[in-house]
Amino acid sequence: MRARHRLLPALLTATLLLGGCSGDASAPDRPLIAVSTNILGDVVREVIGAQADVLVLMPPGSDPHSFEISAQEAARLRGADLLVSNGLGLEEGVQHHLDAAAADGVPRFVAGDHVETVAYTDDEMSGPDPHLWTDPRRMLQVLDALEPALAALDAVDGPALHASAETYRQELRDLDAHLAELFATIPASRRALVTNHNVFGYLAQRYDFTVVGTVLPGGTTLAAPSASDFDDLIQDMATASVDVVFADVAQPERLMRVLADEADVQVEVVPLFTESLSAATGTGEDSGAATYLEMMRSNADRITAALAS
């Protein structure tokens, strides 16, 4: 009996410590939300505020198609209260971990399930385009579906959550209006996009751009162009009189430089943050996209500056 009494405090301590592993040890009652991409991670943090711990798996400046996670992060993921991912085939490097957590019973919210998708197609591949965040109206659809998923978590204050969701909805509407206004200054004949990878399908649909072509084929960054793909793109650029190409800062610039060199005309390569947030805010080389809203605004500024003249 005496031994059992001594054991009880030790067990309680162990239980508390274990509870601390699934979130911030200082707030053991807060739910843990694991989010795959840093773009969705930012949106979730903006909306849930301090009401939950948010574990964002994808580091700043990385490629959502190919980033991987540590065994420790994979274990934390399986203890989360909610798993938020983009879906539509985006997170190829971590999908098996997301599936394992879902199989363990972690509730799952997949953003791509809640938007009207556009398809990408080229000669070899087709499928739903996963880059839904390039249209703020799609992000509004995601938020409308996400809010009830967050409200369903234990210990979340519904009215406070709704208030912050409403604030962020207005931010998204303002962003959409700002982008529409900026892009309207680009002449229709110049609203043509060439990118290193097929990221702007949704943006093009929303704001009347034509995607002339991409350097990498398909919907992923994990494919390589053939010599004929490359020649076709240069031909398409000449036909559409395109002299600007947009490259994501997280991906190697080599192919874009080769493209710029091979084209007959002078081609300008403009870096954008298209698939990942940056580590820092501001105007430095690796800065300017610390939040989703900042990323979209700085890309729109750079696209407009390159095409409006």
Query: Site residues (CB under 5 A) for Zn ion?
Result: 275
200 vs 207 by CB, closer to Zn ion: 200
In DSSP terms, 54 is beta-bridged to 33
Measured from each CB, the residue nearest to Zn ion is 275
Length of the chain: 309
| Cβ(66)–Cβ(43) below 8 Å | no
For 54-81, b/e burial (b = at least 16 CB within 10 A) is bbbbbebbbbbbebebeeeebebbbbbb
Q: How far is the CB of 297 from Zn ion (least distance, A)?
A: 20
31 vs 64 by CB, closer to Zn ion: 64
135 vs 275 by CB, closer to Zn ion: 275
| Cβ(190)–Cβ(307) below 8 Å | yes
Q: How far is the CB of 63 from Zn ion (least distance, A)?
A: 7
Q: How far is the CB of 170 from Zn ion (least distance, A)?
A: 28
**Distance (Å, rounded) from C-alpha 190 to C-alpha 304?**
10
Q: How far is the CB of 251 from Zn ion (least distance, A)?
A: 9
136 vs 219 by CB, closer to Zn ion: 219
DSSP E strands, the chain: 32-35, 53-56, 82-85, 108-110, 119-121, 126-128, 192-195, 210-214, 244-248, 268-272
Nearest to 40 by CA among 132, 151, 175: 132
In DSSP terms, 119 is beta-bridged to 128
198 vs 298 by CB, closer to Zn ion: 198
Q: How far is the CB of 100 from Zn ion (least distance, A)?
A: 23
